[in-house]
Structures are given as C-alpha cells and as structure tokens.
C-alpha cells in the first residue's frame, strides 16, 4: 500500500491559498513533462498517459497547489502520480488483465534510423519489463533516484516517509532491477541461440 504524504490531502475548505503556494497551472507548465515521463516509467499504458497526467494535476489543484516546504514540487507530484497509476493499474488488471509494452516504448519512435529505433525499442522494453517486475513503491524510488536524479532526502519529504525507508526501497529496487535485467538477457541469448540453430538446420 502506498504511504500518503501528510500534506497530500489537506483540509482546504474555507481556507485561503497560502501566499507562497504554487498553483496547479504553474505546476503543469513547469513539470508536465516530468510527470508524463515518470508515469510512463511507472508502467502506465501509452494511451493512458495524458489522462493520468491530467488526474495528477487535478488532484494538485484540489490540494490548493504546492506549498514550499521540505519536499520539492517534483517529488510531491510524484507521490500523487504513484497513487493515480497504482489505482489505474489495479483497475485494469481486474477488468481485463491486458498488458502492453508501456508508454516508455513510445520513446523509441522518435529515433529516425529504423534499425536503431528497433534496437532502442528492444532496450526500452527490457528496461520497462524490469521496472514492471518491481513493487510500485520501490519502482518509484528507483526511478526518482536513478533516472530523475532526485535525492533520497527529497524523496522522503515528498512521500512523507522516513529516509531509512527510502534507502531500504532503493537497495531492494536496485537488486530487483539487476536480477530482472539478467533474466531478460538470458532469455534473449537463449532465443538468439535457438534462432541461429534453426537457421543452420
């Protein structure tokens, strides 16, 4: 279960927006690309990314925007995004059990060289499959630290969890990612060997 940031569901009824709060519109203009890439890496389907991003910023709007404090806007938005994606993935699995290559695979379509695009797509699928094998909470910490360059302190503040929990999740996620990549590489080597044997038969 995803821990909720203490500030992620404030009681804003009848209260004025703090003077230093960053409104949802400003957050969207500054961090829309970050949120889109983050939810793609979390495993959102490519056709769902725009809807997920919209949901994240709608929730940010309902919370009265981001109030500067220990967390950064990116890690605060990431905590919301994890909850949105987690709920959507659970609903999809219950409904139809269908999976696809994930939105991350769409990044390869920007490569102009078809051969390189195919290779990039294969590599991205392997990365996405490795990420998808993780618990979503560990996956989020791994993405934020290893890919987005967020500090463990900022991740802890954004998610409202102890920093030792961040360290624990990151350590476990690194191990799971390396193990998953090793398994995927072994499967690919086996498949290439079988294909070569058949071509020689």
Q: Which residue has the higher pLDDT, 185 or 149?
A: 149
- 125-160 pLDDT tens trace: 777 777 877 889 999 999 999 999 999 999 999 999
Total domains in the fold of the chain: 1
Tell me, yes or no, whether 10 lies in a domain: no
pLDDT number for residue 11: 45
Q: Which two tokens stand for residue 127?
A: 């990365």
Tell me, yes or no, whether 8 lies in a domain: no
* Mean pLDDT, rounded, for 72-101: 83
* Mean pLDDT, rounded, for 94-107: 52
Spatial contact of 100 and 57, defined as CB atoms under 8 Å apart? no
Tell me, yes or no, whether 67 lies in a domain: yes
Q: Which domain holds residue 101?
A: 24-200
- 162-173 pLDDT tens trace: 999 999 999 999
Tell me, yes or no, whether 3 lies in a domain: no
Specify the pTM.
0.71
Tell me, yes or no, whether 140 lies in a domain: yes
Tell me, yes or no, whether 19 lies in a domain: no
């Amino acid at each position: 279960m995803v821990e909720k940031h203490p500030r992620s569901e404030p009681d804003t009824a009848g209260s004025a927006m703090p003077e230093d709060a960053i409104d949802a519109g400003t957050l969207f203009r500054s961090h829309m690309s970050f949120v889109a890439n983050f939810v793609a890496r979390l495993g959102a389907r490519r056709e769902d990314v725009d809807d997920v991003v919209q949901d994240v910023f709608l929730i940010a709007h309902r919370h009265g925007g981001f109030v500067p404090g220990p967390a950064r806007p990116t890690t605060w938005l990431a905590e919301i995004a994890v909850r949105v994606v987690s709920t959507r993935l659970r609903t999809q699995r219950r409904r139809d059990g269908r999976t696809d290559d994930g939105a991350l695979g769409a990044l390869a379509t920007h490569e102009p060289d078809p051969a390189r695009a195919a290779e990039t797509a294969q590599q991205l699928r392997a990365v996405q499959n490795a990420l998808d094998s993780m618990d979503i909470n560990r996956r989020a910490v791994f993405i934020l630290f290893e890919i987005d360059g967020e500090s463990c302190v900022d991740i802890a503040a954004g998610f409202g969890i102890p920093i030792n929990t961040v360290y624990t999740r990151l350590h476990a996620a690194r191990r799971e990612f390396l193990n998953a990549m090793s398994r995927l590489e072994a499967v690919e080597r086996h498949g290439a060997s079988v294909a070569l044997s058949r071509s020689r038969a």
